[in-house]
Amino acid sequence: MRYPVVFIAVTCTLAVWQAQAIVDGDAIVQQMSLLQTTTQASSSKPVVDMQQRVQRYLQKALQGSAPLLTRSVMDNAPYLSEPWDDVKWLKATNYPFNSKDQQQDSIPLLSGFNALPADVLQENMATVERINQDASPALQQKALIDAENTRYLYALAEALGPKLGEAFLDAYQHGEIGKAAVLIKASNVSTSAAKNAFHYPRPFQQSGNRIHLVPDTAVVMDNQPYKAFDGAFPSGHTSGGYNAALLMGQMLPERFVPLIDRAATYGYSRLVLGVHYPLDVIGGRMAAERSVAHILNDPAYRVLFNEAKTQLRAALEKACGTTLAECAKPQGKNDPYTDPAMKLFYRYTMTYHLPEAIVEALPLKVPEGAEVLLEGPLPQLSAAQRRALMIKTAIADGYPLSSGDMDANFWQRLNLHDAVAAAEQ
């Protein structure tokens, strides 16, 4: 039997789509299996103990002096507060944090969002629906805790490993790293301007969506479904997570790669809750990487940064009772962020396997000063060598959001995990 050319073409196209769906489904299963090792369902007692400790500390911090942690109490908890943050020191710096110009910069950076074709947006929605529906109770619990961690740095502890992570929590709880804590949070650039500019609805607000809103069984524990109400694109939680991880990674380069992997899992949590799409998370990462590079190139900021870094490292070394190099060493199954599989997970979250456009391959251009992001983990390399490494390890061109302004092509393709790993081989 002979078939028309059109029939054959359509059949082949459907076969490709089905094959890709299987590949994407397998990838999601693999990622969730890996992430399960970072949750309270882990088979590692140190991992579970740290997760439970972070949960308790977060609940207590949000409750403050109130007799009970309610949703109203949580919503009104201050962004900066003692003993975690050295607010007095921050105010004395008079540094212009979170300026309007910085907030506006992410709009042209992410402008490629406005030109995305329908098939990309459809897969964007389909991916969050799959992740949201397939997430285990343990991943949902982790995502709920991540969602309410924006006022604190508790989320970073697990990326530091069982020894350094415990030392970090001890020092943080006692206000011994207040300069680093307050500086990292103050350095975060709001995504509100970009959200207002793109004005894209959340996944659970889309007509005909299959999102399951996750009831809060982890923080307030009132079983109310977790929601977010401002614009979806880009993700403010993801941007804040990368901001914190990148700056902490500069202060603690011994754990730079696990920290940025933690930022990737933090963004993934937004999909688990069904309140963000993959593109929101990718855009949040891009915005944070650019803003952190910008601020680290400011000499006035570096004075504050170095002061905070010195305090942090001294406090953690004291809490560890040994050198940071020794305290930060990988601890096998008790240290899931050092699992080699995190390399693939980080790479997955750079694109979420969204459709790749066929584009003319052009040389990647590294924006001036971007190499500062590798300064902490790779101090032995020159600026030129770090720039070359960024080019060598960048992902392929053509993925969504690589066509905006403000060097969007670079920030979308920048693979910091592989850059550091390649230099250490």
Per residue in 303-312, pLDDT (tens digit) is: 999 999 999 9
pLDDT(21) > 70: no
pLDDT at 134 over 60: yes
Is the confidence at residue 19, as pLDDT, over 80?
A: no
Is residue 404 within 8 Å of 112, Cβ to Cβ?
yes
Q: What is the pLDDT of residues 344-360, one digit of tens each?
A: 999 999 999 999 998 88
pLDDT score of 1 = 38
Query: What average pLDDT score do residues 397-410 get?
Result: 91
Lowest mean pLDDT among 21-25, 27-31, 90-94: 21-25
pLDDT band at 406 (very low <50, low <70, confident <90, very high): confident
Residue 24: per-residue pLDDT: 62
Averaged confidence pLDDT in the chain: 93
pLDDT of residue 98: 85
pLDDT tens across 279-289, in order? 999 999 999 99
What is the pLDDT confidence band of residue 16, given thresholds at 50, 70 and 90? Answer: very low
Query: Is 234 a residue whose pLDDT tops 90?
Result: yes
pLDDT of 4 strictly over 50: no
Residue 22 scores a pLDDT above 70: no
As a whole number, mean pLDDT of residues 374-383 equals 98
Lowest mean pLDDT among 94-103, 157-166, 301-310, 332-341: 94-103
pLDDT tens digits, one per residue of 174-208 = 999 999 999 999 999 999 999 999 999 999 999 99
At residue 158, the pLDDT reads: 98
pLDDT at 15 over 50: no
- Residue 275 near residue 286, CB atoms below 8 Å: no
Rounded Cα gap, residues 238 and 221, in angstroms: 23
pLDDT the model gives residue 10: 37
How many angstroms separate the CA atoms of 351 and 412, rounded?
9
DSSP string, 133-171: HH--HHHHHHHHHHHT-TTSSGGGGGGGHHHHHHHHHHH
55 vs 360 pLDDT, higher one:
55
Report which residue type is found at 6. V
Mean pLDDT value across residues 283-296: 98
pLDDT of residue 362: 77
One DSSP character per residue, 13-67 reads HHHHHHHHHHHHHHHHHHHHHHHHTTSTT-S-HHHHHHHHHHHHHHHHHHHTTSS
Report the pLDDT averaged over residues 264-290: 99
Q: Tell me: pLDDT of 14 over 50.
A: no
What is d(CA 124, CA 132) in angstroms, rounded to the nearest whole number? 12
- CA angle centred on 297, ends 251 and 305, rounded to 5°: 35
> What letter does residue 111 receive in the DSSP assignment?
G
- Of the candidates 403, 416, 390, 405, the one whose C-alpha atom is nearest the C-alpha of residue 358 is 403
Average pLDDT of the segment spanning 385-403: 96
- The closest alpha carbon to 285, from 301, 302, 268, belongs to 268
pLDDT at 27: 78
84-107 average pLDDT score: 94
CA–CA gap between residue 228 and residue 195 (Å, rounded): 12
The number of residues making up the chain comes to 425
Does the pLDDT value for residue 400 go beyond 80?
A: yes
Percent helix, strand and coil across the chain, each to the nearest 5: 65, 0, 35
Q: What is the mean pLDDT of residues 380-384?
A: 98
The type of residue at 416 is L
Q: What percent of the chain has pLDDT over 70?
A: 94
Q: In whole angstroms, what is the distance from residue 107 CA to residue 133 CA?
A: 31
Q: What is the mean pLDDT of residues 262-267?
A: 98
All domains in the chain, ordered by first residue: 5-424 (1.20.144.10)
